[in-house]
Structures are given as C-alpha cells and as structure tokens.
Amino acid sequence: MTTEAAPPPGGAGTSVASPTAEEFEAVQRSPEFAALRSSHRSFAFPLTVAFVAWYLLYVLLSNYAGGFMGTRLFGNVNVALVLGLGQFATTFLIAWLYARHAAAKLDPKADAIKARMENGR
C-alpha cells in the first residue's frame, strides 16, 4: 500500500538537531520555566488539596455518620447519593477549570519555551 502524502518534516534526508541535556537543564533553570512551574503549582496544588479534603470528608461521613448520610432528601434520594454524585461533578468541574487554566496561562508559556528551544536560543 502506498500513499501520495509527503514525508513528515525531519524525515529521511533531513536531520533535525535535538536539544542536548545541557540545553534542557539551562531551560529548567530559566526564569520562564520557573514562572511556568509556579503558574501550574499555584493552580494545581490548592485544587488537589481541596478535592482530597472533600473526598476524605465524604468517606468519613460514610463511615461515621451513617444516620446523616441516610437522611432522605426526596423520594429514595438520600444525602449519601447527592454527595457521591457531587464527587463526580467536582471531578469534571476541576478538569474543565484546569483545561481553561492550561489553555490561558500554561500553554502560551510552554509554547514560548518550546519555540526558543527549537530555534536554538
């Protein structure tokens, strides 16, 4: 089976120089990379701590507050079901918030660092 597609850039016949270990280390020490790490950590760590605390609260309530968790809210829906579904909702909310944060704050910084490395500067 053959295709008419052109070969990918950097394929046979051309050589693309990849960054050396020293260049990667220099980028890791750069203020730009530190700003990227700081932006990621300042968003990810607080949300991670908040979600783990929320999850542990749910587990502790399930184990030690059975009466409260079994309280019917309406029909056959109780507090445990609502809080359990809330776990799923917060997981998707956090993923959506992180995707927005990454697109707005992290990706432009990472793209700038990548472009600088690819240009050999």
What is the pTM for the complete model shown? Answer: 0.73
- What's the DSSP call for residue 64? H
Q: Which two tokens stand for residue 21?
A: 């270990």
pLDDT per position as a tens digit, 56-66:
999 999 999 98
Residue 19's Cβ-side half-sphere holds a number of Cα atoms within 13 Å equal to: 17
Cα distances from 11 to residues 6, 20, 68, 97, in angstroms, run 10, 20, 64, 38
pLDDT per position as a tens digit, 4-52:
766 666 555 555 567 788 888 888 898 999 999 999 999 999 999 999 9
pLDDT for the residue numbered 21 = 84
